[in-house]
Amino acid sequence: MTLDSIFSISDLEKPLARFWQLSGQKIRLLEDSFDTKDGAPVFTEQGRYVTRGWTEWTQGFQFGSALLQFDATGDTDFLEIGRKNTVQKMAPHLTHIGVHDHGFNNVSTYGNLLRLINEGKIEGSEWEIEFYKLALKVTGAVQATRWTVIPSGGFIYSFNGPHSLFVDTIRSCRALVVSHQLGHVLQTENDRRISLIQRAIQHILATVRFSIFYGKGRDRYDVAGRTAHEIIFNTNDGNYRCPNSQQGYTGFSTWTRGLAWAICGLGETLEILDQLSEADYSAVISKKDLISELSKAAIATSEFYLANTPTDGIPYWDTGAPNLHKMGDYLNRPSDPYNSFEPVDSSAACITAQGLIRIGNWLKTSDPERAEKYKNAGIQIAGALFSEPYLSTNESHQGLILHSIYHQPNGWDYVPESGKVAHGESSMWGDYHARELALLVQRMMKNEPYYSYLNCVPV
């Protein structure tokens, strides 16, 4: 990626206004036309959101988007869309024992509603507040039951089974953190009480130690900062076996959305550590050592992203995608979503930009030069996403951010023309995280209270 020393956060003022205008149109369009009885909207085909029966992990992004829209614009119609649908339709996701995505679905909905109340943006009755709190307590405990023990601790296993650690889940740990901060625990047989924050920290550490590489020679493809989508463990003894990938090209290349989840999850975790009591997790690791491990991982992954992304900050779907070599010097020019060889993934950029800004904000006292670099990179990526060809301006297209990829190996993404790669479509996670990014930037630009998911817990 090439950093532009002239571009600044103030340059996003007009793009943000246009972004939120288009965002509202897309939310209304989806609300008026999509029947959730068929499942959750996942990604678009020819501009219309469709379902994909793999796991139900995107419903919270749909309704959470409306809540973010209200937060940014003050339009109460979107508050009602988000609140009504959360109350009426999200309950099954609270007790869904088959997914590792509770932080995505439920912190994006119940969490945003409770956050808006705590921030004084909306009023909430005592029982409404307790309802949201109870939902968040439950979802964290349910996610924490998906537990595999390994010699160094444990991890929340993916929908593939107890052998499988997904890099994605580092960001979904927010469900356990919120539940713990609300005073909850997981109770199992014989009334054993399990600390949710300790499980969250253990999972984050497993991700940092196994899913992220540091150039130490773990294998021939151990490049500092790269990530593996999936890590396989032997469930008999808990030992590490190998990297793997579900949605990337291989376990020995870097699926850029997995890299994005790591960057975003690390940024969010680092900036909330001062709000957590060290005594609650000191049995796992000290705060000093935790910061050391997380900051090392955050810097490694951020540097890898910046070094392996085209000049505008929008990455191709996998850094080892087999046809990238046919594109020549593709890293030294802007991304090309209309090329004939490999698709870009704008959703990875939406997720990463927020993470870079958060890591930059966290580093501002310890490493101000790097902090400014990361923050400016995130802001610059936002500028690319909030303009064409990535911003969806077609009034009939239900998606907000174009050129998102779901599952390139499975061939699930719509290819509009022969001889070109999949392009021109949106994803529910990409659209939601673009809105989170926009809200974060807007609050920073206007010197408003800092946007953090943990604002849903009263201080």
What is the residue-averaged pLDDT of the chain? 97
CA–CA gap between residue 278 and residue 296 (Å, rounded): 20
Q: Check residue 203 and give its pLDDT.
A: 98
pLDDT in tens, 388-417: 999 999 999 999 999 999 999 999 999 999
Q: Check residue 387 and give its pLDDT.
A: 98
CA–CA gap between residue 25 and residue 371 (Å, rounded): 35
Q: Check residue 55 and give its pLDDT.
A: 84
Q: Check residue 38 and give its pLDDT.
A: 85
Q: Check residue 264 and give its pLDDT.
A: 98
**What sign for the dihedral angle of Cα 294, 298, 300, 301?**
positive
Answer yes or no: are the C-beta atoms of 401 and 385 closer than 8 Å.
yes
Strand partners, 432: none
Q: Check residue 459 and give its pLDDT.
A: 81
Q: Check residue 2 and give its pLDDT.
A: 97
Answer yes or no: are the C-beta atoms of 94 and 139 closer than 8 Å.
yes
Report the candidate in 67, 72, 71, 73 with the shortest Cα–Cα distance to residue 31.
67
Which CATH code for domain 9-456? 1.50.10.10
CA–CA gap between residue 158 and residue 130 (Å, rounded): 30
Answer yes or no: are the C-beta atoms of 287 and 301 closer than 8 Å.
no
Q: Check residue 13 and give its pLDDT.
A: 97
Q: Check residue 53 and give its pLDDT.
A: 78
| Alpha helix positions (H), 195-248 | 196-206
The percentage of residues in the chain with a pLDDT greater than 70, rounded to a whole number, is: 100
CA–CA gap between residue 372 and residue 359 (Å, rounded): 10
Residue 445 pLDDT grade (very low, low, confident, very high; cuts 50, 70, 90):
very high
The percentage of residues in the chain with a pLDDT greater than 90, rounded to a whole number, is: 98
Structural tokens at position 398: 């239900």
> Which region, left, alpha or beta, applies to residue 153 given φ > 0 means left and ψ of -120 to 50 means alpha?
left
pLDDT in tens, 82-130: 999 999 999 999 999 999 999 999 999 999 999 999 999 999 999 999 9
pLDDT in tens, 53-78: 788 899 999 999 999 999 999 999 99
